[in-house]
Amino acid sequence: MTAYEIVGVAPAAVGAVLAVITVWALWSLVRYVRADRMTRASIRQAVRVRFGWRRLAPMAGLSVHDRTPPAVVVAPDGKVPKSRVIIPKIKVTPDRYGVLVRAVCVPKVSLAEFQRAAPYLADAWRCTRVSVLPDTPGQLLVRGVRVDPLIAPTEHVPTGEAPEELTRWHLGVDEYAQPVSVDLSNVPGVTVAGLPGFGKTSLVNRFLCDTAPSPAIQYAFADGKVTSSHEGDYADLAQRAFAFVGDDLAEANALFKRLVELRRARSTSVGSALGVKNMWHVGPSAAWPLVVLVVDEAHTYFRDYKGSDAQTKKLAALSSENARLVEDLVKKGRSVGMLVIIATQKATGDAIPTFIRDVCPVGLSFAQKTAEAAVVALGEDIRNWPDANPTTLQDPAYVGVASMARQGRPGFTRIRTPYVADEDAARIAADTAHLVRDPDELLAELTGPHARHGGLLSKDDDTGAA
């Protein structure tokens, strides 16, 4: 191309570049105008982070000098070229809570250096917290939160659609506003503890509302706070359950026995019915659904009755048998698709007996009054993690915030769980009530009635095995 030709196409090229810039600017403006107040503040923050990075990075110790001169060792005028300052490249994305910065590591400026600089970055970016985690190889994920996600209440409106992944329990967001979820496949038990009114029911509601549209799940509720299914937190949800009991110990005992019998019958027939030893190898289905037992205000069913009169002795016997039955479900129900969620506001050892708590792989605790109560809820290890101790969550701003042991990593994480309105729970329960099936009947349809009795007669399967 001749110089003359270049001059000829230059206006068109400049025009194209200007058009692209204009479209980009318009798109950014529309995005800004349409965003909510918090996201707009984050967009402004992202602009500051991007434009301030070249100055900030060297000051925060996040740059390196490349002292090896480039290809030309000595310039024609005899001067040796200066060393270059190399700064990690960043890509900044704003969201409601702050900014997510992807940084490319450079030699000697990597995870440790960024983690050391995190407090300076937090000050410069005006963030309450900055965390640095490895992303893809050679890249880091720097999370800066302007607003503390733990004190910003959120809401969840269930869609009423069957979830793509039935066993993924979306719990909420952590202190860096990153989503936190647990996979409940192969999990036999979950414990949820916390002072009254701090969000236990809302947390369980979310799981129930998100999963209820699937025919591959069936529920039984034992609500120790009420006497009939028309009362309490599960009054609306009860229509989506195949069984419901209130605070009557004998009725609860009958339900737990029924479920242990189902567990045994499933254990006997899982191989012949599903062709696998562990139901999770094929996953739950409408014919072999995940059976979830929710035991709320568990203290009612497990408490340690003391006294020598006949009535107290009877209650003590029932309650200790209840604990053994639930223990059976938690210890042996996993591979046949049974899950127990145990919630309590009492923070004493007999609310969730330790022999049950210790076999539940997932445990959450909302606010607790004392360090002892936190240990009862989350185990001894919580003493080693004072920042995440649920005793620090007693402020009303932390209603809906729970502490949970990290899965696959040491330590605990604090999670802002969303509020789920009772009306939404009622709507979902009414819309999905037609999906209720008795898992006993489903098993009989799959295997015939004999499998069930074969399971019951098995002697070495005694519920007392602990």
Ligand X SMILES: Nc1ncnc2c1ncn2[C@@H]1O[C@H](COP(=O)(O)OP(=O)(O)OP(=O)(O)O)[C@@H](O)[C@H]1O
Name the site residues for ligand X (rule: CB under 6 A). Answer: 153, 194, 196-202, 233, 345, 399-400, 417-419
- Angstrom distances, CA of residue 81 to CA of 64, 66, 87, 124: 16, 11, 18, 32
Nearest residue to ligand X, using CB?
A: 400
Complex with ligand X: residue 100 or 401, whichever CB lies closer: 401
Cβ 425 to ligand X, closest distance in Å? 11
Complex with ligand X: residue 201 or 319, whichever CB lies closer: 201
Complex with ligand X: residue 52 or 197, whichever CB lies closer: 197
Cβ 230 to ligand X, closest distance in Å? 17
Complex with ligand X: residue 355 or 419, whichever CB lies closer: 419
Complex with ligand X: residue 417 or 447, whichever CB lies closer: 417
Instruction: Answer yes or no: is 194 a known binding residue.
Output: yes
Cβ 362 to ligand X, closest distance in Å? 17
Contacts of 63 (CB under 8 A, 6+ apart): 57, 85, 86, 87, 88, 106, 109
Cβ 452 to ligand X, closest distance in Å? 35
Complex with ligand X: residue 201 or 300, whichever CB lies closer: 201
Instruction: Answer yes or no: is 150 a known binding residue.
Output: no
Complex with ligand X: residue 146 or 200, whichever CB lies closer: 200
Cβ 219 to ligand X, closest distance in Å? 17
What is 332-381 written as a DSSP string? HSGGGTEEEEEEES--STTTS-HHHHTT-SEEEE---SSHHHHHHHH-GG
CB 99 within 8 A of CB 45: yes
Helix axes 439-447, 249-274, angle to 10 degrees: 30
Q: Any idea which residue has 């923070």 for tokens?
A: 347
Quote the tokens at residue 12. 């068109």
Q: Where are the beta strands (DSSP E) in 224-358?
A: 241-245, 290-296, 338-344
Cβ 94 to ligand X, closest distance in Å? 24
> How many beta carbons lie within 10 A of that of residue 91, not counting itself?
11
Report d(CA 347, CA 262) in Å as an integer. Answer: 31
Q: Which of 453, 237, 411, 268 is nearest to 341 (CA)?
A: 237
SS3 annotation, 225-252? CCCCCCCCCCCCHHHHEEEEECCCHHHH
Q: Which of 201, 206, 221, 200 is nearest to 291 (CA)?
A: 221
CB 426 within 8 A of CB 433: no
Q: Which of 424, 438, 220 is nearest to 329 (CA)?
A: 220
Instruction: Answer yes or no: is 154 a known binding residue.
Output: no
Report d(CA 85, CA 71) in Å as an integer. Answer: 17
Complex with ligand X: residue 22 or 370, whichever CB lies closer: 370
Q: Which of 363, 334, 337 is nearest to 351 (CA)?
A: 363
Complex with ligand X: residue 199 or 353, whichever CB lies closer: 199
Instruction: Answer yes or no: is 448 a known binding residue.
Output: no
Instruction: Answer yes or no: is 199 a known binding residue.
Output: yes
Cβ 182 to ligand X, closest distance in Å? 17
SS3 annotation, 411-456? CEEEEECCECCHHHHHHHHHHHHHHCCCHHHHHHHHHCCHHHHHHH
Instruction: Answer yes or no: is 198 a known binding residue.
Output: yes
Q: Any idea which residue has 């937190």 for tokens?
A: 233
Cβ 33 to ligand X, closest distance in Å? 29
Cβ 32 to ligand X, closest distance in Å? 28
| Residues forming a β-bridge with 104 | 139
CB 129 within 8 A of CB 175: yes
Cβ 240 to ligand X, closest distance in Å? 18
| Residues forming a β-bridge with 344 | 193
Complex with ligand X: residue 214 or 417, whichever CB lies closer: 417
Binding-site residue numbers for ATP are: 194-201
Binding-site residue numbers are: 194-201
